[in-house]
Every structure is written in C-alpha cells, then in structure tokens.
Amino acid sequence: MTVEDRDAVLGEIESDLTRQFGGGAAISPLSTPNRMGRRVDGIDLSDPLSPAQARLLVTLLDRYQILCFPGQDRHGFDVHDLERITNHFGAPIPHPKNYANYGSGEALELLPVERRASTLNNVSFPGVFECLPGADSPAVYIVSNVPGGGPDADPMIVGGQHWHTDIEFEPVPLSTSMFYVHRVPTTRDAPGGAWVTNPPRDTGFYHPDSPTDLAERREMLPLNGETAYADTAAAYAALPADERHQLDATMVRRRLRRSDAGWLVPLVHTNSRSGTKSLHSPVWASRGKRIAPVEVDGLGEDESRRFLDRLEAHCLRPEFRYDHVHTPGDVTIWSNFATLHVAPPVKQSINDPADARVMYRMSCKGNPSYKLPRHDPQTWIDDNIAPPYRAPLTE
C-alpha cells in the first residue's frame, strides 16, 4: 500500500470513528504507521456499544491486529465491562484455573472463595491492593504476580513464556484476547535500568537443535513488564509469492498432548471478513518436552520442526515485532489469528507493591456479535466452549 493509499484509508477510518463515537474519537499508530497496532482515543468503553460501533471496532481489529483504548479507568470501567466488550468479539471462554476440579471428568465446581485468584491477590497487601469488581467471573484470568507476596516475601525472577497464541490446539481456536490493565511495575533496579533480568531457560524448554537466529530472537524478551507481539499477517505477506502459494496448501496437525490424535488445520489462516492471510502460530514444533509438537501433514516430526522453525524465525524478525507498554486503565485487544505474543520475565513473591503487575485477561472464539446478548446455539457452546459458559448479560 502506498503512502497515499494509507492516508486515504486512515481518513475514511477517522471519519467513521467520529461519526460513530463523536468528534473526540481519534486513531493513531502504536509505533509507526506501517506496523500493526493502533491507539484509539476518545472512546468510553464503559458505555454499551451500538451495533454499528461494535462492527467498527471489529473491523479495526481485523485491519490492525492490536487495538489499545487508553484511560478507561477515568470512566469507571471495570471487569464486568470487559466481559461485555469481549462478547462482541466472540463467545467468552472460561479459564481452567478458575475451577477446583478441571480435568477430573466430574461436574465442574468453581474454586472456593479462599482459593480464588482475587482472594490470593487481596490478602498480599491489605489496604494497598484489591482486585476490581467482576474479577471473579469464570471467564476472567487474573494475570498477576501479587499472590504469595507481601511485605516479608522474598522476591524471585520467573522467566518469560514461549512465543504463542492462546489456545490454538482446539478444533475452533481462540480468536481474540484482551487485557484490562490494573497495575504495572514501576521499579527499575535490575542491571541496565530494567525491572528484571532475563533468567536462563531450563534444559528442554526449547528443542536443542533450534537454529541460532531463532534461539536469539526467542530470548529478546521485554524486561519492564511489556507484552511483545509479532505480526504474522505482515510476515506472511513478506514471503515470496511461490512460498505463499505452497503455505496456502499446507496443513498441520495440532494437539494438546502427544497421545492425542489431534486434527488437521490450515497453517495459513484467512480472515473471513477482511480476506487477510496470516500464519497461525507456527511455533509449537520445537518447544520443550512438555508440549506436544505440531506436525506438518506429510512430514515427520524432525522435518516438521525444521520447516516450522524457519517460519517462526521469519515471524520474529524485528520488522514484524512490537513491544506494547502497558499503562493502568488501558484496554488492549489483539487478534490471535494474526499475531504471536510472549509474556515477559516477571518478579514474583514481591515485597513491594511498586513491583505489582496485574491485568485482567479475557478471551473468546467464534463469530463476532454486533448486538448483545449473543445467541450462540447451545450445541455450539457445548462442543466448543469448555466448560460450557454464557456471559450473564442482560442487554
């Protein structure tokens, strides 16, 4: 796209924003104009969205992969509002960690109050930190380093995750995730003026034969509590035409455990609304022994690993990467079909609230719904939302 074309599209989007949300709404790049990610100012997400407003936000996410809506805490936004927003993008998914007996095969029971993440957060620094209303929803995952902390705790550094997308191993994969940011760490007492260092990986975290360039790019993790993203739509578009054609026909077998039969899915995802193609997380092949590797249809395990390692190294090139700095009060939404992301190393068992990193994450799958409540068929919920869940919405 030329600069002139990009400016014309941006003008149309800005006109649509002001038409739907008023003259104060504006959109700007999170980094540079030619990269994924946009900041959307002047929108109060605590207000229910009209169908036209919801459609516009879904369209913006389809186009830009990451959307950040700053300063929502100024409007009294809470986690109930985050769940309402999530329902526009897809059907919310309850998080396994919210259940006392997940995976037991028995009727699921929510954790007792004393074992819930919100309670464990609240008892660490009484009177200083408390989770927001709505945090106990089964569909909310509290991303926090506060549990286990307190004034007398002994802090430790825990390494970051693998580059990944969320819950991609199910037949209908997760489409969208979002954070509402509550607290971010403000201390910078590690070497280099960062919050933390990046500790060495345990043996077996990644396959030992991973290429050098891939190993280096995997370990270039953010050190101040940011979330790093890689643009798999731009990475796909940058490949030669003949390679894109080959990848379009490539099927991969995804599974949660090695003992699972799994299922074949396209490696290249095509957004049904925008037509944008992206590499849907080609990163599982050379992870450690605890995670079942993806296999490319027609290739063995070692061949699959080499095939997918090359694609992952391509996706993690600096020109496709964006490190998002979280700010309290922000709502950040991202597409799992068109990005990879990685959680940073964090300080845990904290003894100072200035080290707290607390965000509320919700995720969803299925088609958007521009009008609420959603009307997903119960059979679809039963087959694709585990455990079956519907948000308790009244509008």
Residues 284-319: b if buried by 16+ CB within 10 A, e if exposed: bbbbeeebbbbbbeebeeeebbbbbbebbbbbbeee
Crossing angle of helices 79-89 and 51-64, rounded to 10°: 80
Banded pLDDT at 20 (limits 50, 70, 90): very high
* Residue 363 placed within a domain: yes
Banded pLDDT at 264 (limits 50, 70, 90): very high
Q: How far apart are CA 188 and CA 174, in angstroms?
A: 35
Q: Angle at the Cα of 175 (from 29 to 286), degrees rounded to 5?
A: 95
Banded pLDDT at 160 (limits 50, 70, 90): very high
pLDDT digits (tens, 9 = 90+) for 326-349: 999 999 999 999 999 999 999 999
Q: What is the average pLDDT score of the chain? A: 92
* Residue 355 placed within a domain: yes
pLDDT value at 394 more than 50: no
Tally of domains within the chain: 1
Q: Computed from CA positions of residues 120, 122, 125, 131, in that sequence, does the dihedral angle turn out positive or negative? A: positive
* Residue 391 placed within a domain: no
pLDDT value at 288 more than 80: no
pLDDT digits (tens, 9 = 90+) for 50-73: 999 999 999 999 999 999 999 999
Which tokens sit at 395?
A: 């509008």
The CATH number of residue 195's host domain is 3.60.130.10
* Residue 227 placed within a domain: yes
* Residue 392 placed within a domain: no
* Residue 390 placed within a domain: no
Task: Quote the pLDDT of residue 235.
Answer: 98
Question: Hey, what amino acid is at 249?
Answer: A
pLDDT value at 6 more than 60: no
Q: Collapsing DSSP states into helix, strand and coil, what is residue 30?
A: coil
Q: What is the pTM of this model?
A: 0.95
pLDDT value at 393 more than 80: no
pLDDT value at 209 more than 60: yes
* Residue 395 placed within a domain: no
Q: How far apart are CA 20 and CA 252, in angstroms?
A: 41
Full residue range of the structural domain in which residue 293 is found: 3-384
Task: Quote the pLDDT of residue 2.
Answer: 56
Residues 256, 67, 368, 81, Cα dihedral to 10°: 100
